[in-house]
Structure 1
Amino acid sequence: MMESSTERQGKMKIGAFQFAGSGDMEYNFAKISEGIRQAAGADVRFLAFYECALTGYPPLEVSMECIDFEAAEKYCAQVQMFAVKYRMYIALGCAVRRGGRIFNSVRVFSPRGGELPAYDKRALWGWDRENFYEGGSDGIYDIDGLRIGIRICFEVRFPEYFRELYRQGADLGVVCFCDISETDNPDRYELIKAHLRTRAVENVMPVLAVNDAGPFQTAPTAFFDRDGKVFAECRRNETELLVWEVEKLPDTFGQAGRKYVNGRLSLSRPQHVSPCIAQTEGTGG
């Protein structure tokens, strides 16, 4: 989905807002509104919230039977008004009922008025398989000269979902999580963080991650550059806004090398591998 704009092309201030979600949609919306206002004060152009931030994630925070989908639509209409008022793209996690089916979606609201096509989660297992239908969209959005790809939670485990973004020339990957625990689990937090770093490195693509804030976060809210470096990260388990500026930059030697090999790997597998020749200049990626 392409959106034209008079904003700076190829450069954008992005944000991610984390808070501890609940099954109380009125409370969730109040926190979402708080995050939008904070982001507007920081001149954020694209703001992401986590998986099912509005409705609560079933069944961890709410049962599917208790989700009021009509109320969710009314709250989403208010989010759309915020998008126009603050000239901001807002990506909001929400359980959505559409055509008699329920999807785990990230809805994208445009400052130009109206809603862009939602991205519906495709990697479903466990609770997701019990509660949601599998999506079928690609989650690609062209905004202010940047191509942004959205993915949801469990999809970070599978390189294929992110290789789709690479092949379509994404300039930024956004991953919306609801990955939390009743007890602290720093090992899982570091594991998911490592997945995010790897998705950034292997696809030469910066990644913005946003997660529910509690009780205990088991995935970060953070920004990773194309080399997997963590440039910004929220404090664990606290309500907080992350802001970073992303822009298109020339490839470094290592980044160009990863793109070159990625291109070769997309071709048929070679029958013979030549002996390795030592580099005389530069370093690998």
Structure 2
Amino acid sequence: MIRAALVQFEPRALDPARNFQRMADAIDAEGKDADLIVFPELSNTGYVEPVAAGGAIEAKVPDFGLALWEACAELGGEEIRNLSELAAKHRAYLVLGLGLRDPQMRGVMRNASVLIGPQGIEGAYVKVHQWHNEKLYFKKGDQIGTWPGPGCRLGMQICYDIRFPEITRILALQGADVVTNIWASSGVGGVPVADEGLFIHRAYTRATENGVFFLSCNRAGVQAGHRFFGRSCAVAPNGRVIGALEHDREDVLRVDIDLQEVARYRAFTGIWTDRDPELYARYLTASR
């Protein structure tokens, strides 16, 4: 049994010191019980501005790109080392949505999901599918992988990636039992959410297609006139909602994951034994 905590919190734009401290506080609070603690996309930097195409840059800085790069972390830097020490202290695994500086090229940034375990950094996934203005700032990823989690194999994706079913399928083919998706999904402030169940619907689809636990952690708060949707949720392999926050405020979703449900669902449905990859490949190759 894995106990997971999805931390739906509001990062402050371009204020990494405050954001990292709040993340550390949450890890200390949740690490007493949780085996896996998940944070939203770009938790250290806040989201990019303009948040949407054609919008304004609210941040009072002369050069937002440079300010964002300065707010990003280094994978081997002090801030991440501090969180690694907390992971070791609590014997917990962390999934951290972080803006990272490229280790070689000054000024180049990555939108990443970093997995830290009790032994240190286990791996990092760089977002492959970049939403709208993210392309102005981040270099896209070109690798998909899984890593050891708390008693499971864990795959990571970020926000817009969920609209591409290949990502989750590849993670499942690589042995993932649990997939995390971290978000910074928002709408113009004051406009109601078009579909209150949007995040559950998407998580349900990816979970049942692949027989995985799907953990969806979105951020809260307001930035540059946009309100982030929150509504973090967790879905079992058979589509059962094991937990959901039905609001966009700061909160923590705590859920228990029974990995036996992965084997039970896959054995019952036959979704893996009934696949016909050779047949699919004929059509996929022809339509590329």
Q: TM-score, normalising length from structure 1? A: 0.82
Q: Calculate the TM-score normalised by the size of structure 2.
A: 0.81
Which residue of the partner structure matches residue 67 of structure 2? 66
8 A Cα contact 1:190 1:219, kept in partner: no
User: How far does residue 38 in structure 1 lie from its aligned partner after superposition?
Assistant: 2.0
- 1:89 deviation in Å? 1.2
1:104 is aligned to 111
In structure 1, distance between residues paired with 2:281 and 2:92: 47
Match of 1:238 in 2: 249
Matched, 1:171 2:177: yes
SS of the residue corresponding to residue 232 of structure 1 reads strand
Amino acid aligned to 1:258 = I
In terms of mean alpha carbon deviation, does 89-98 or 251-260 score higher? Answer: 251-260
Query: What fraction of aligned residue pairs are identical, expressed as a percent?
Result: 23
2:87 is the counterpart of 1:83: yes
Offset of residue 219 of structure 1: 5.5
2:19 corresponds to 1:18: no
Give how far 1:91 is off: 1.3
* Match in the other structure for 1:196: 203
Indicate the residue corresponding to 2:167 in structure 1. Answer: 161
Cα distance, 1:202 vs structure 2: 0.8
CA–CA separation in structure 2 for the residues paired with 1:217 and 1:130: 20
More moved, 116-125 vs 211-220: 211-220
Instruction: Indicate which of 229, 244, 259 corresponds to 1:248.
Output: 259
Structure 1 residues 149 and 253: alpha-carbon distance in aligned structure 2, compared to 1, 3 A threshold:
closer
Distance 1:109 1:152 in 2: 16
**Aligned in 2, Cα 1:128/1:189: closer, same or farther, shift over 3 Å?**
farther
Q: What's the CA shift string for 1:183-203, capped at 9, x where partnerless? A: 343225533431111011111
Aligned to 1:186: 193
Corresponding residue of 1:4: none
Count the aligned residue pairs: 257
Return the alpha-carbon distance in structure 2 between the equivalents of residues 180 and 206 of structure 1. Answer: 24
Hey, what does 2:55 align to over in structure 1? none
What stretches of structure 1 of length at least 5 have no aligned partner? 1-10, 272-285
Write the letter of the residue equivalent to 1:17: V
Higher mean alpha-carbon deviation, 225-234 vs 64-73, is at 64-73
Find the counterpart in structure 2 of residue 258 from structure 1: 271
Q: Which runs of 5+ in 2 are unaligned?
A: 52-57, 283-288
Q: Secondary structure at the match of 1:95?
A: strand
CA RMSD of aligned residues (A): 2.4
Instruction: Indicate if the aligned counterparts of 2:4 and 2:257 stay in contact, CA closer than 8 A.
Output: yes
Q: Give the alignment of 1:2-41 within 5 angstroms.
A: 11-23=1-13, 24-41=15-32
The amino acid of 1:37's aligned partner reads: D
Alpha-carbon separation, structure 2, partners of 1:253 and 1:105: 30
Change (3 A) 1:253 1:29: closer
Separation in structure 2 between the aligned mates of residue 270 and residue 34 of structure 1, nearest angstrom: 48
Cα distance between partner residues in 2 of 1:85 and 1:270: 47
Q: Give the counterpart of 2:221 among 202, 207, 214.
A: 214
Moved over 6 A (4+): none
Residues 1:115 and 1:268: Cα distance change in structure 2 (over 3 Å): same
1:117 lines up with 2:123 in the alignment: yes
**Who is 1:142 aligned against?**
148
Quote how far apart the aligned CAs of 1:158 are: 1.0
